[in-house]
Structure 1
């Protein structure tokens, strides 16, 4: 029996607060998100911080390359003022700080942006924090990174990310589910998380579900599109429009 898809807040609540900050995550949690999604990079001194880009130029008044900067250097930056003066002095959070504010009933979709070098540092943090591993979903475009995670901590759920935004019907059909299923088997992932394509349909998605894999979607802000895929029986939708998508009345398609 299909379960109601989780609604995941993309980078927190980025329309009401500066993305990937504790302020954004707290707002999303307060507004009833089933989970939050954040992006994580490894710093020069081997800390893990929450920021989308590989540098700080878009969210601060100074450009620092994350992998070439220390945590202390990065946390001197104000990453809230660019959004609104009300968020002045908001800092780039560490993974530990994000885990610390995560309620026991809320998921964290943790996107690994760094290369596989980050994995041992990530797993060390997870082991040292009293976080329920069932709350975590590790996501990445890098299949090698996900394979490393599974090999070292198989109890963690992993999803392979794939963008379908530029795919037409021919390109999607050539990217056969068979090939992707083989890759998921190889890296021992629990499922796949894709963007939406107008050619993505129930038959394509069901090839994964029928094999026991999860199917997740990002980043869906349109209510009608979200409703269409929720009826199919996907596992989650990541969105910037949390309140709008949460209003959808769930009604799975019957086979």
Structure 2
């Protein structure tokens, strides 16, 4: 359990507005060493930290991130929904988030768009070579995560899988054999999977035998976490990183 990564989902998103500098800073100050953020590409090719398909949840405008410039996005308040104290939190660029990473920190970047992100990622890496080694990449899009591994072979890259997270992903779920084949084909480092029924003991055993990393998402109760601890996951993604870390320590110290 000592090597288990506690990953702050969109920052410390239970306490602060998700995917903002506030939630990222809060996670670092809570001594969380792994922070996950979602990244999309703007109209003017800026990589920004944002989850949803559109901004409708925050400004009642049904418009995609790719239809905005970064300057336009910067004027949207994405903090107020979480409480008055978070008013005027804006959508940060990935570059702004990179500058917050402490010496022992790692940023797990979920790439939400397709391989068209490549040019922006390469340019960003050139400007931030000092911190780039502290990045990991994840993506639901197989082509995107393979692109990331190709251009950044020294960074850990994991394929995100919904498995049985909903009816649609359950219907289209690849077999374990097919998952392994695709992961190995492009030298990916592992998978980041939904913490459901498919991610069972035998599933973990196969992944461990292949020396692949396996992260779980999203776990917010200790009962849910305890179900998977015997299977030895490498990482647990949670909205409550500080609380989860404390609860797991109590379990370990018993």
Q: Same fold by TM (over 0.5)?
A: yes
Q: Distance in 1 between matches of 2:70 and 2:189?
A: 32
Q: Does 1:107 align with 2:106?
A: yes
Once the 2 structures are TM-superposed, how far is the Cα of residue 3 of structure 1 from its aligned partner? 5.6
Query: 1:28-177, aligned counterparts within 5 Å?
Result: 28-166=27-165, 175-177=174-176
In structure 2, what is the equivalent of residue 10 of structure 1? 9
User: Which residue does 1:207 correspond to in 2?
Assistant: 206
Could you tell me how far 1:165 is from its partner in structure 2?
Answer: 3.2
CA 1:29–1:56: 2 relative to 1, 3 Å? same
Question: CA offset at residue 151 of structure 1?
Answer: 1.7
Distance 1:196 1:70, change over 3 A: same
Moved over 3 A (4+): 60-64, 130-134, 165-168
The normalised TM-score by structure 2 is 0.90
Residues 192-234 of structure 1: per-residue CA shift (max 9 Å, x gap): 0001113421221121111111111011112122133233221
Separation (CA, whole Å) in 1 of partners of 2:199 and 2:149: 28
1:54 to partner: Cα distance: 2.1
Give the Cα–Cα distance (whole angstroms) in 1 for the partners of residues 129 and 67 of structure 2: 29
Q: Is the 8 A contact 2:149 2:187 kept in 1?
A: yes
Unaligned runs of 5+ in 1: none
- Contact 2:98 2:131 (8 Å CA) reproduced: no
> Higher helix share goes to which structure?
2
Q: Extract unaligned runs of 5+ from structure 2.
A: none
Correspondence for 2:184: 185
Query: What TM-score, normalized to structure 1?
Result: 0.90
Q: Within 5 Å, which residues of 2 pair with 1:219-238?
A: 219-238=218-237
Deviates more, 1:178-187 or 1:60-69: 60-69
SS of match in other structure, 2:58: coil
Judge which range, 227-236 or 6-15, deviates more.
Answer: 227-236
Measure, in 1, the Cα distance between the counterparts of 2:182 and 2:122.
23
Task: Answer yes or no: is the 8 Å Cα contact 1:150–1:156 preserved in 2.
Answer: yes
1:84 to 1:52, Cα distance in 2 relative to 1, 3 A:
same
> SS at the partner of 2:71?
helix
Q: CA shift at 1:18, angstroms?
A: 0.8
Q: Assess if the C-alpha contact under 8 Å between 1:217 and 1:237 holds in 2.
A: yes
Distance 1:242 1:46 in 2: 31
Distance in 2 (alpha carbons) for counterparts of 1:126 and 1:220: 31
Let me know the Cα RMSD of the aligned residues: 2.0
